[in-house]
Amino acid sequence: MKVAEWLSGPEREVAWRGDRPLMLSTMRAQVRALSQRLAADPGMRWALCFDDSYRFCVALLACWYAGKTPVLPGHCRAALLNEMRDRLDGVIADMPLSLDLPLWHCDDAEAPGILPPLPAQAGLVLYTSGSTGAPRQVVKSLAIMEQETRWLIDLWGTPLQQCRIIASVSHQHLYGLSFRIFLPMALGLPFAAQPVFYGEQLAQLTRQWRYAFISSPAFLSRLDDGLDAPDCALIVSAGGALPWSDAAHVRQRFGCPVSEIYGSTETGVIAARQFDRPDAAWRCMPQVRLAAVTPDRWQVWSPLIAGSDGWRLDDRLLMQPDGQFQLAGRHDRIVKIGDKRVSLSEVERRLLSLPEITDAAALAVTRQGRQAIGVVVALNAVLDDAALHQHKQQWKRQLQQWLEPLAIPRYWRVVAAIPVTSQSKRAWLQIEELFDVAD
């Protein structure tokens, strides 16, 4: 069903929180109350910062019915939101935040009455890590979001019948928004208001239901061998590369192969595959077209991308004669740590804002099969080992204002000057060699 129909129809369970069902009539009344409050406020762009997916859905719908634009800032750190204050009129949240912006806390208020029609131009704004380090704005119309949902229903509508949706990923990003909110609401399936943080939570789920589990490589790689797995009709992974060994382990535990999604915030879903063998290839979604624009760069065209220019991919593709493809790494300075996109340029920019650091280079460092952020920094003063250790702890605390935990540098190298080539560009081979000796 379309978004305009989400709140219509007979009474049903739309979500659950713990052992408490959350009903359609309650959601409808809460959307009315918040939309009326928003309609009375002149502000147009409202950032949504929620841990609870049900309350997030209420705020999302309330923004649309009030004629406002919901904004998903990527992550909800106060420092980032304060930096965006010129682009926001307020924040609606269910978490404690100290902001320079108007902050409304979700109070679960209800109101009677009839909702107005959804505006024809309803949409939302997401922010994602750009290659320059500055957050990139991505605008999605409601029509584009509904188109993507129809594709997902065509692909998985049958196995999803009678399922309940659980997720370990956040609705604050496009993947979670599409699969954790749009998909269950369009199919009339109940979704969990609270995320799955640990494998033990899966073992505690009621066994009378079948589930669709929306997850990520980082979560699936940590599953316990002794997990008492729930009955899953579908397991979806996206946000990074899932090793075949982990995919095979998940199938062994759940009796269900992992289905993977390839795409980005800018492009929406591009392709999907069932990861049931090591060489499983990706198949494009209907109406998606890929073409090589240089020998090693690919462009994608899709109805999910606004405009006719398509989008230049930052991934290397190995195309097969039948049109399916394999992924072979990235070109840009966005890396995946766990299942999070981390902009190395953003890490460098934040390091350079610290008064003691005069130059910085960031990269992904692999130790025992796991990646973390490593940085090489040049300082404005010479520090002994004790002072350097103290400064590193201080720098990490300062970086927490802006960066997510996985983006905080784990490995540090201090140099007099960062190596450069004869063309004055970063000498990345020399920089990488600084991390050849483990910490």
Please say which residue of 99, 117, 139 terminates a domain. Answer: 139
359: which residues sit within 8 A by CB, 6+ positions away? 352, 377, 378, 417, 418
| Burial (CB count <10 Å: 0-12, 13-18, 19+), residue 149 | buried
pLDDT of residue 76: 86
Please say which residue of 95, 111, 139 terminates a domain. Answer: 139
Whether 234 has a pLDDT exceeding 60, the answer reads yes
Least confident of 186-190, 268-272, 428-432: 428-432
The structure's pTM equals 0.81
Q: Residue 42 and residue 60: Cα distance in Å, rounded?
A: 17
> Structure tokens of 409?
């540098």
Strands 123-129 and 135-141: antiparallel
Task: Evaluate whether residue 200 is within a structural domain.
Answer: no
User: Is residue 424 very low, low, confident or very high in pLDDT (cuts 50, 70, 90)?
Assistant: low
Q: Quick one: average pLDDT of 409-438?
A: 84
CATH number of the domain that 416 lies in? Answer: 3.30.300.30
Domain containing 114 equals 1-139
- Among 186, 128, 144, 137, smallest CA distance to 287 is for 144
User: Is residue 423 very low, low, confident or very high in pLDDT (cuts 50, 70, 90)?
Assistant: low
Residue type, 225: D
Q: Quick one: average pLDDT of 260-269?
A: 94
User: Is residue 242 very low, low, confident or very high in pLDDT (cuts 50, 70, 90)?
Assistant: confident
User: Is residue 429 very low, low, confident or very high in pLDDT (cuts 50, 70, 90)?
Assistant: confident
Q: Which long-range contacts (CB under 8 A, 24 or more apart) does 354-362 make?
A: 354/395, 354/398, 355/380, 356/380, 356/381, 356/391, 356/395, 357/395, 359/417, 359/418, 360/418, 361/418, 361/426, 361/431, 362/409
Phi, psi dihedral angles at 90 (to 5 degrees): 175, 175
pLDDT of residue 340: 82
259, β-bridge pairs: 236, 274
pLDDT of residue 397: 93
Please say which residue of 104, 124, 139 terminates a domain. Answer: 139
pLDDT of residue 176: 94
**Whole-Å CA distances, 321 to 252, 273, 318, 324, 325:** 32, 17, 10, 7, 9
User: Is residue 294 very low, low, confident or very high in pLDDT (cuts 50, 70, 90)?
Assistant: confident
The answer to whether the beta carbons of residues 326 and 317 sit under 8 Å apart is: yes
Whether 287 has a pLDDT exceeding 90, the answer reads yes
CATH number of the domain that 125 lies in? Answer: 3.40.50.980
pLDDT of residue 330: 72
Choose between 241 and 202: higher pLDDT: 202
Task: Evaluate whether residue 407 is within a structural domain.
Answer: yes
Task: Evaluate whether residue 365 is within a structural domain.
Answer: yes
Domain count, the chain: 2
Task: Evaluate whether residue 340 is within a structural domain.
Answer: yes
Q: Residue 189 and residue 165: Cα distance in Å, rounded?
A: 7
pLDDT of residue 374: 95
pLDDT of residue 379: 93
Task: Evaluate whether residue 296 is within a structural domain.
Answer: no
Whether 129 has a pLDDT exceeding 70, the answer reads no
pLDDT of residue 314: 84
**Whole-Å CA distances, 107 to 336, 364, 394:** 36, 41, 37
Mean pLDDT of the chain: 91
Task: Evaluate whether residue 10 is within a structural domain.
Answer: yes
Task: Evaluate whether residue 159 is within a structural domain.
Answer: no
pLDDT digits (tens, 9 = 90+) for 132-170: 556 789 999 999 999 999 999 999 989 899 999 999 999
Whether 414 has a pLDDT exceeding 90, the answer reads yes
Q: Quick one: average pLDDT of 118-138?
A: 80
pLDDT digits (tens, 9 = 90+) for 341-389: 888 988 998 998 899 998 899 999 988 888 999 999 999 888 999 999 9
Task: Evaluate whether residue 27 is within a structural domain.
Answer: yes
pLDDT digits (tens, 9 = 90+) for 62-100: 999 999 999 999 778 888 889 888 999 999 999 988 888
pLDDT of residue 421: 67
Q: Residue 173 and residue 305: Cα distance in Å, rounded?
A: 17
